[in-house]
Amino acid sequence: MTFQKVGIAGAGLMGSGIAQVCAQVGMQVVMMDIEPSALEKAKEGIAWSVGKFVEKGKLSEDVGTILARISVTTDIQAMKDMDIVVENVPEDINVKREVFKTLSGIVRKDTLLGTDTSAIPITELAAVSRHPERVLGLHFFSPAQMMQVVEVIRGVMTNDDTMEGGVAFVKAIGKRPIRVERDVAGFLLNRINFPGTVEAIRLVEEGIATVEEIDTGMRLAFGRKMGPFETGDMVGLDVMMKAMMSTYEETKDMKFYPPVLMQRKVLAGHLGIKTRKGWYDYNEDGTRKA
Ligand SMILES: NC(=O)c1ccc[n+]([C@@H]2O[C@H](COP(=O)([O-])OP(=O)(O)OC[C@H]3O[C@@H](n4cnc5c(N)ncnc54)[C@H](O)[C@@H]3O)[C@@H](O)[C@H]2O)c1
């Protein structure tokens, strides 16, 4: 299975990041979104980010060569000749179902349909698709340009060829695939990470330690690049809370339940780096205030 032509459905934060990663390894990318303004913003963001990589000597090609591989459209029909389509529309089951229904009627029979959902069962999207055996989860981590790992998730109907194709695609874009052999809530890595984050927030709520102390301790003790609160601010407290809540709803296990302190921060709009306030305060350029 080769991946020359990649379709990206939904060109927001994740879709634009994935489009960039694919173009950087030489793939032709068609980025589709229903909002022309989202496509404009995505193009600008990609140009800026590729520029940064080139400046730091991390890419051998120039910005123009890489950008020339990405075309944009508001017409979903443009997905018809893709080797793989990675769906990145909002985390809303109705929107995603509609996109899968339409997409699966347009693409070739052998096209892989991957979803970057954080928490919606892969099987539910496969069920509305014409070839459910070609549907799989491709769960990226944000920012997709930087994070080196992608979960490749098997839905109930996903066949072996599709799993192998997903693994091959992730390797082809220079990332490490992590195979997840069953479609469970939270998939694999969040399922492991969320309980630790919930516990860290509870310890802050109880006044046992500060956010800074926990993050510093977790970094130094376990060789992590970021502590749980730093990760939360980067991902977005709203995004993380929603994913925790859906994992809780499916498992009914309190270890995934977002603590009140987190819920209140989300209500207050303190969502992390994107709102310049979360567990920490941030400057305009996203650096942390001293
Ligand atoms: N943000 C994260 O950290 C993160 C990490 C992993 C996975 N995800 C998942 O990735 C997906 C996208 O998240 P995001 O943060 O990029 O969202 P986003 O809101 O930044 O982008 C979504 C884009 O989809 C577009 N869109 C809406 N309806 C559409 C349609 N019918 N067809 C085509 N485009 C449509 C919107 O205009 C928007 O540009 C979600 O399922 C999310 O759960 C997010």
Query: For position 163, what pLDDT does the model report?
Result: 98
Residues whose beta carbon lies within 6 Å of some atom of ligand 1: 9-15, 32-35, 38, 88-91, 95, 99, 116-118, 140, 142, 235, 239
49, 88, 104, 190: the active-site residue: 190
pTM of the model: 0.94
**Average pLDDT of the residues in 73-92:** 96
Q: Which ligand 1 atom lies nearest to the CA of residue 96?
A: 31
Chain-centre distance of CA 214, in angstroms?
A: 26
Does the annotation count 190 as an active-site position?
yes
Strand 28-32, strand 70-73: pairing: parallel
- What homologous superfamily is domain 5-180 in, according to CATH? NAD(P)-binding Rossmann-like Domain (3.40.50.720)
Residue 193 a catalytic site member: no
Residue 214 pLDDT class (50, 70, 90 cuts): very high
Nearest Cα residue to atom 18 of ligand 1: 12
- 270 among known catalytic residues: no
DSSP 259: P
Q: Tens digits of per-residue pLDDT, 112-148? A: 999 999 889 999 999 999 999 999 999 999 899 999 9
pLDDT of 215 above 90? yes
Cα of 96 vs centre of ligand 1, distance in Å, is 10
Q: Which of 139, 230, 246, 270 is catalytic?
A: 139
pLDDT of residue 168: 98
**pLDDT tens sequence across 235-288:** 999 999 999 999 999 999 999 999 999 999 999 999 999 999 999 999 999 999
> What atom in ligand 1 is closest to the CA of residue 11?
39
Q: pLDDT confidence of 1, banded at 50, 70, 90?
A: confident
Question: In ligand 1, which atom is closest to the CA atom of 118?
Answer: 43
Give pLDDT, residue 119. 85
* Helix segments in the chain, DSSP class H: 13-24, 36-55, 63-67, 93-106, 122-127, 160-172, 189-205, 211-222, 228-235, 237-251, 260-268
Distance 224 CA to ligand 1 centre (A): 27
Average pLDDT score, the chain: 96
Name the CATH topology of 190-275: N-(1-d-carboxylethyl)-l-norvaline Dehydrogenase; domain 2 (1.10.1040)
Of these residues, 118, 124, 129, 246, which one is catalytic? 118
End-to-end CA distance of the chain: 49
Taking the domains of the chain in order of start, what are their residue ranges? 5-180, 190-275
Predicted pLDDT of residue 180: 98
